[in-house]
Copies of this chain bind each other. A is one copy, B any other.
Amino acid sequence: MAEEQGIEKKEKQDNVIFVGKKPNMSYVLAAVTQFGDGQNEIYIKARGRSISKAVDVAEIVKNKFVQDAKVKDVTIGTDAVENENKEKINVSTISITLGK
């Protein structure tokens, strides 16, 4: 149980893109590929400092690559996670739904 609650938990859904430390274009490419593979809706998710990058990725996909994609929903939230010292900290989250 405990292992599953860590920050590394990842859903392995095809249409969910977790934005982290890679360059923007890695995630843009992943999103464009999803749409190319026939997904009509993708979720771009991030936590903490990566939230700004998730917004960049969504805007680049929409404005430069998938012109008929629209931002259908943006939700923000808070996750309680443990840091390296086993202290509970809150991190903000974002989920951006892009759809055609």
Q: How many angstroms between the C-alpha atoms of A43 and B51 in the bound complex?
A: 18
Task: Identify A52's interface contact among B74, B77, B92, CB under 8 A.
Answer: B92
Q: How many angstroms between the C-alpha atoms of A88 and B76 in the bound complex?
A: 30
Chain B CB within 8 A of A31 CB: no
A92 with B48: CB separation less than 8 A: no
A59 with B74: CB separation less than 8 A: no
Q: Which residue of B lies closest to A91 (CB)?
A: B56
Q: Which residue of B lies closest to A94 (CB)?
A: B55
Q: How many angstroms between the C-alpha atoms of A50 and B48 in the bound complex?
A: 11
- Residues in B neighbouring A56, C-beta threshold 8 A: 92
B76 with A58: CB separation less than 8 A: yes
